[in-house]
Structure 1
């Protein structure tokens, strides 16, 4: 599979191999050819190790997202993967040390092995571009301090062996520019990845908000339809009679109001049987309050059916003047039914409790 990463890897390998090959194209005698060959081999091995080596953990799974508990290392590793957007992986410490050693050893080894007369020849100055390319790779692999330390080592060694003017004229400036551009490129890439991640999260949040609004609109339409079905006939008669209602019409209005309150306050407690018992209680004159405070949010439909059946049975046998039906926050109790009626002992400021029923959660009692 051809990808941008694979193309860049091939270019990096080819370019570093070309720079190293320049070191073998001797145009004159050198004092220690074996040292030159060994130095070139060390340079190529280190460079290609920095290109290809990725820890097994980063190949199998992306680094964790940054958190206060994981510290700065996790924050650095998280730069390589932002919401699935993966960038260059951090260079392992061993390769980092080898790259620094290469930046320190190669310039001096080449300068000594070719002899004083050939230190400014093209086959002896290849390390200016070679070490610059290596430090560029190190910078892309997210080791900026190592890359700049290597550039400093290259600058000091090259100026000592061939003089500041020759070092700057033969390639040192280009190496510094490469590393600078690489740092800017990595910074821009990380910023683009963060912006893309932020936009992705905003898009997901906007989609979720839009979906919730659609769901709420549908729920409101359903509630409006139910309200029209319940209160429509009563409102029609009220308008037709100019607000002058008979006692049966007033009773129907109170029942319609109660039904609407039930649908808004406790929809999960209701089914056809419960609605029928609530209407029967209101027709006999009881004041009924239904309230769902979220205690049934995690209950499935089968368990809700059992709870509703027990609630309907409780309402069927209830004779209280006031009925309070509400969900319970207790883990074992699903619904509490309380009935209150005037005290039979005589006048009193408070009604007496003549019904107390706790409907348990199925399977938790």
Structure 2
């Protein structure tokens, strides 16, 4: 889902409102549609309460098998509350906000405590410093959906504002343990990135799938795999992750969120620097966004010069293990979110025109 990529409301310093007095003296019966809307909000909130009571414990931990992976990883756990911030922002009772904030806090603790045995980079915790240790931005962004939308109704929460700045800093070289960004070549250095930095080797099926797990007669996996071997087979060709990829443009939402707190210029500067570098690559590549940029900044540099190469790239087609069918799993179009973030900050149509040319 792309819910987590919606742009956030401006949450800068409060400005004094002009004093206006409205006098309403004529009674009015609420229209039927308004009453139905209120009933819908109330009914949805009640459903959320029942769900929360059934599937979350008193700590805000989801009652689940805590796993790492692209099939059933941390992002899937918190996605159970994906639209709750929107529900609250539309006017649902305060209890909805209380639940999704508790779920987010519990989620961070739960997956900081959860550790892998075989996946090497998550053996000390799947989350580190409240953020995924390193994964792709399809899954990172999905796991941030609830967090990103909190500012629709609670942008002044101190912990939220602290986390917004911390997360943005992982991509601005503010944390020496997370050297994700190369400011010389203006690239994020790997498709796998996060609070422990980039993964600078080919990824394995294990990296994507997570530790072995018994599936038969226990779970119905969303991608249709029937056992752990098919889970591994699903990801066996997801190897070429070194270098930058359009999916990483989704990380610019972190800088956008941080800028909207108090308009600190460094966040705007980084966001536009990164998006402008991608805009230049599109222009150099015949107005088509490349799906791999090497560590030296060259288009296709980590995929034998193939601008369309890489995991989730233009040419990324794989075999579905349980059916033998070919599936086309390119994700470069998700990069539009980064260009839309730049447009939101500047109003400059060239960020949208680049994608019109590509259509």
Structure showing greater relative contact order (alpha-carbon pairs closer than 8 Å, 6 or more residues apart): 2
Instruction: Pick the structure with more helix per residue.
Output: 1
TM-score by length of 1: 0.25
Q: Which has the larger radius of gyration?
A: 1
Instruction: Pick the structure with more strand per residue.
Output: 1
